[in-house]
Chains A and B, each alone.
Chain A
Amino acid sequence: MGMDELKPGAAEPEAMKTSGVLAEYATPEGLIAAAEKVAAAGYRKWDCFTPFPVHGLDDAMKIQATRLPWFVLACGLTGLALALGFQTWANGFDYPWNISGKPLISLPASIPVTFEGTVLFSAIGSFVGVLLFCQLPQLYHPTMRSAKFARATDDRFFLFIEARDRLFEAGKATSLLSGTHPESLETLEEPVHGSPQPGYFKPFTLMLFCLLSIPPLMLFNSRSQPSGDLPRIHIVQDMDKQPKFGPQMGVGENLFADGRAMRPPAVGVVARGEVKADSQLYEGKVDGKLAKGLPASLPASAALMERGRTMYNIQCSVCHGVAGDGKGTVAVRAQQLAEGTFIPPLAFHDDRLRNIEDGHLFEVITKGIRTMPGYGHKIVPEDRWAIILYVRALQLSQSASIDVVPADERAKIKPQ
């Protein structure tokens, strides 16, 4: 139907070419019979149009079974592999977090997400597959130029043989189809040169794509850089700054007189298992005064001495020296660097320290003295007493006479 030729004011009728022959049928049976004839005649580029799928028409048209199911299978298997693989990698290797002892790689626990992934990819594959295989969206087709064709989605059945078919000759196709008793038969035409794409289309699409890609690119850029000096934006103020008192917080005297939010335990309260009743073991004091001698619960023994030597060498010898002479490597080096302003660690080999109470040594190890820090948090009380025992041995070693050494050991000591 050369409708364009009838447009008033058209400068010149457009050159039209035949696009094909369209036959209309009132019943599916009529269409099937016609389709069999057309297929038998050897046409390849032709199609039937029906408002609902008509059974028997696929065979009449000799349509090959579509490969869509294989495409869907491929999509589904991809989904399965991705879901299972990702779960195994993410929870098993990249971020192996023990949660309630659940196994890191658990096939049963992976089933739900794997199943959903398979179905999701298959479903997307089915839908996209239909569109792809049918080459939809296809917003133009030669049949749209027929006014009658609107009934193809209503209650009529059409058959269209395209002019592009190598067997097509307008007269032969028309006579073939009229032999099938259609309700109507028309030859469709379309312009030889279809409307060109509007000039603005390509640059517009390109610009739109560039504009739309700006936000994701900005996001990627900002993710690779530190957030800078500005403080975070708190959209929900009362979630991030909660009106409550945290532990260790000082809140002024309005709440409690001591200004704390936490309450210290009542005086004398002791946690279970934390009773430190033995004041000599835990403080080195008897009746409130620093005492001499090891605590009764920790008698001197070779094992305790050996422990003392180990712990002294680990914790104390770096400053006080292996022989207790204040010439540990740190002290020597610090003397060199500090050029005389460094206060050296004590050597133990003077009378004052030989006679001082063991409790005093215990206090010094626990709390520190002058520039020495306390080691109470690092060394348990039993080990501190072992160190004190060893220190006494060191002191004895530098101040004893040969008579103190047992007779069978004297041979080992060489004169200096």
Chain B
Amino acid sequence: MSTATVNALDQDNVTDYAPGDRPKLVLGEQNYNAVTQAVCGVVENPPTPAGWYVAFFVTLGLTVCLLFNIAYLIANGVGVWGNNIPVAWAWDIINFVFWIGIGHAGTLISAVLFIFRQPWRTSINRASEAMTLFAVVCALIFPTIHVGRIWLVYWLFPYPNQMQMWPQFRSPLLWDVFAISTYGLTSLLFWYLGLLPDLASLRDRAVGIRKWIYGLLAFGWRGSNRHWHRYERAYLLLAALATPLVLSVHSVVSFDFAVSQLPGWHTTIFPPYFVAGAIFGGFAMVNTLLVPARQFFGLKHLITLKHIDNMNKITLATGTIVGYAYMTELFIAWYSQNRYEQFTFLNRLSGPYAWAYWTMIFCNVVSPQIFWASKMRRNLWATMFVALCVDVGMWFERFVIIVTSLHRDFLPSSWTYYVPTWVDIMTFAGTHGLFLLLFLLFCRYLPMIAVAEIKAVLHHEKHHHHPSADPLAGGSNAAGAAHGHH
């Protein structure tokens, strides 16, 4: 894959297409081998760029910091965090919801966009599914370590025991256990099924120990059409299962709050509000990861500006939904004439945590509005700025929900101002390290774009992409298109 071709695309003016026409989703050389080479080349070609090593050691350091903080927590107890009555849940649950929310975007891109037959998902779905899995790993850390007696965390699962007890299935905390476990496992299976053909590609290009490892992981996949037939059915079924799963998992997470009696928590808007917020935050994280990745790994012709454009449109849409949800909460607080609800929202707007609330409003509602302008949607700096804003803003949304509702609830004598400890902060920073470490390893050792799916899109484009009005006159175009055979 010549670098000259890639650099020529730096102008990135390929989104100027005639109305009624579809933009190309794969730029540059239009042959299958080029796609294989571009994606597998990242995994195979030494030397690894120095930047990867720097990032690797930084994130490894943060991960070690995470492990140290977890060990410190287990040895000393939950008192090392800032949580205390009345703010019994703080950074632990904020971080949990934050990471799970980020994971949902990956499943949305993989499954929901597949159901909606959006071909542009193919260049971003592998990386975003991987992001989902790593986000779920980071998320799972928090419910496990926040229980206090971690050595008894297996009590959450229904197993026959000498106490003759079973868990309480009517509690959202237990629904969470099942929802997150199912989500993690289903995402893993979906991701792995998608990986099988690409692992086979890597296997067939590798030698020695790498061939052996990729060979074992690929299960002997050889592209048999009888297998593809079943594979496609299974993929569709998993996508169809993952779609309601995404909605249900974050709804169940929102039930942790909605099922309680606290003003600001006990509201039916939470399930759709949380799901929209999760998708919003997740897409921002996908952008945060992929805009640099496409740059550093030379994949700009596969993750094109059109893809970034589409992701920014979804960011704008979900951000507006989240803004609408904020306004609905305020309206209902007024309309309900419930003085506790009213106080809670006035407290959010103008109380001791007003700085968090307005940060959240700026980051989540105001900053994505620049994406109404199509120029801004295709501007990579604007994309990164808004993506980082939204990452921060979505964390603050969970902070505002959890801490402001807890710190001033029904009994004024209990009111207090919550402050996190260094253990809280370092644990959260450590999970970022773990997340990025896993993502870096993924980029280095696994194909970060779904090669087989891109080739299918390419095939589809070759035969159906036509500038004229007649979409069926693909034959002559196909024969005339440069296939680049060698």
List residues of A whose CB falls within 8 A of some B CB: 26-29, 47-54, 57-58, 61, 63, 66, 68-69, 72, 86-87, 90-91, 94-95, 97, 99, 102, 106, 109-110, 112-113, 115-117, 119-120, 122-124, 126-127, 129-131, 133-134, 136-141, 143-144, 149-155, 158, 223, 235-236, 238-239
19 intermolecular pairs with C-beta atoms under 8 Å apart = A47-B225, A51-B197, A51-B451, A51-B455, A63-B226, A90-B166, A91-B166, A91-B168, A115-B248, A119-B244, A122-B237, A123-B242, A130-B231, A136-B221, A136-B227, A137-B220, A141-B222, A150-B205, A153-B201
Residue from B166, B170, B216, B233 within 8 A of A69 (CB atoms): B233
> CB of B117 within 8 A of chain A?
no
How would residues 212 to 234 of chain B score, 1 for a CB under 8 Å from any chain A CB and 0 otherwise?
00011001111111111111111
Whether A120 and B233, one on each chain, are in contact in the complex, defined by CB atoms closer than 8 angstroms, is: no
Contact of A49 among B171, B172, B225 (CB under 8 A): B225
Question: Which of A29, A106, A139, A154 sits near B201, CB closer than 8 Å?
Answer: A154
Nearest CB to that of A87 among chain B residues? B169
A124-B174 in contact (CB<8A):
no
A152 and B248 form a contact (CB under 8 A): no
User: For the complex, would chain A's binding face be called helix, strand, loop or mixed by DSSP majority?
Assistant: helix
Closest to A96 in B: B166
Query: Can you name 15 extra interface pairs (CB under 8 A) apart from A120-B185, A153-B201?
Result: A50-B228, A61-B225, A69-B237, A94-B166, A97-B168, A102-B170, A109-B169, A119-B182, A120-B182, A134-B227, A137-B220, A144-B222, A149-B222, A150-B205, A238-B77
Contact A53 B228 (CB under 8 A): yes
Q: Are B193 and A130 in contact (CB under 8 A)?
A: yes
Structural contact, A123 and B190, CB atoms closer than 8 A: yes
Across the interface, B158 reaches (CB within 8 A) one of A86, A122, A127, A141, namely A86
A48 CB contacts on chain B under 8 angstroms: 224-225
B-side interface mostly: helix
Residues of B within 8 A of A130 (CB): 193, 227, 230-231, 234
Assess the B237–A112 pair: CB atoms within 8 A: no
How many angstroms from the CA of A47 to the CA of B230 in the assembled complex? 14
Q: Are A152 and B223 in contact (CB under 8 A)?
A: yes
Residues from chain A with a CB closer than 8 A to the CB of B15 are none
Residue in A27, A90, A134 with the greatest tally of chain B CB atoms within 10 Å: A134
> Is A154 in contact with B32, judged by CB distance below 8 angstroms?
yes
Q: Are B185 and A124 in contact (CB under 8 A)?
A: yes
Residues of B within 8 A of A52 (CB): 32, 197, 452-453, 455-456, 459
**Chain B interface residue count: which class?**
35 or more
Contact A116 B32 (CB under 8 A): no
Q: Are B219 and A153 touching (Cβ within 8 A)?
A: no
Q: Which positions 12-36 of chain B face chain A at CB distance < 8 Å? A: 31-33, 36
B175 beta carbon closer than 8 Å to chain A: yes
In the complex, chain B residues whose CB is within 8 Å of the CB of A124:
185, 189
Query: Which residues of A sit under 8 angstroms from B360, Cβ to Cβ?
Result: none
Q: Is the CB of B248 within 8 A of A133?
A: no
Are B230 and A133 in contact, with the CB atoms below 8 A? yes
Q: Are B226 and A134 closer than 8 Å at their CB atoms?
A: yes
Q: Is the CB of B32 within 8 A of A51?
A: yes
A151–B220 Cα distance when bound, in Å, is 15
Residues of A within 8 A of B468 (CB): none
Whether A66 pairs with B230 at a CB distance below 8 angstroms is yes
Q: Does B192 contact A (CB under 8 A)?
A: yes
Interchain CB contact under 8 A, B456 and A49:
no
Contact between chains at B225 and A153 (CB < 8 Å)? no
Known: A126-B189, A134-B226, A154-B32. Contact between A53 and B456, CB under 8 A? yes
Which residue of the partner chain B has the closest CB to A121? B182
B235-264 CB mask vs A (1 if < 8 Å, else 0) is: 001100110110010001001000000000
CB contacts (< 8 Å) of A116 on chain B: these are 175, 178-179, 181-182, 245, 248, 252
B178 touches A117 (CB 8 A): yes
**Are A134 and B182 in touch, CB under 8 angstroms?**
no
Q: How far is the CB of B130 from chain A (nearest CB, A)?
A: 17
Instruction: Say whether, besides A91-B168, A239-B149, A112 and B252 are in contact (CB < 8 Å).
Output: yes
Shortest distance in angstroms between A4's beta carbon and chain B's nearest beta carbon?
A: 19
Known: A49-B223, A52-B452, A112-B175. Contact between A106 and B241, CB under 8 A? no
Residues of A within 8 A of B32 (CB): 51-52, 154-155
B453 to A110, Cβ gap below 8 A? no
Which residue of chain A has the shortest Cβ distance to B225 in the bound complex?
A48
Q: How far is the CA of A274 from the CA of B230 in the complex (A)?
A: 78
Does B154 sit at the interface, judged by CB under 8 A? no
Interface status of B162 (Cβ within 8 A of chain A): yes
Pick the contact of B234: A99, A129, A223 (CB < 8 A): A129
Q: Mark B433-461, 1 if CB is under 8 A from A, else 0.
A: 00000000000000000011101100100
B165 is an interface residue with CB less than 8 A from chain A: yes
Residues of A within 8 Å of B165, CB to CB, are 95
Distance A109 CA – B173 CA, assembled complex (angstroms): 12
Residue B144 at the chain A interface, CB threshold 8 Å: no
Known: A52-B455, A120-B186, A127-B238. A112 touches B248 (CB 8 A): yes
In the bound complex, residues from chain A placing their C-beta under 8 Å from that of B483 are: 26-27
B406 CB to nearest chain A CB (Å): 20
Nearest CB in chain B to that of A155: its residue: B32
Q: Give every chain A residue within 8 A of B190 (Cβ-Cβ).
A: 123
* Contact B241–A126 (Cβ < 8 Å): yes
Q: Which of B171, B179, B222, B478 contacts A153 (CB 8 A)?
A: B222
Q: Which of A123, A137, A223 contacts B186 (CB 8 A)?
A: A123
Q: Determine the residue in chain B with the shortest Cβ distance to A223.
A: B162
Chain A residue with the shortest CB-CB distance to B160: A223
A54-B225 contact in complex given A122-B241, A154-B36, C-beta closer than 8 Å? yes
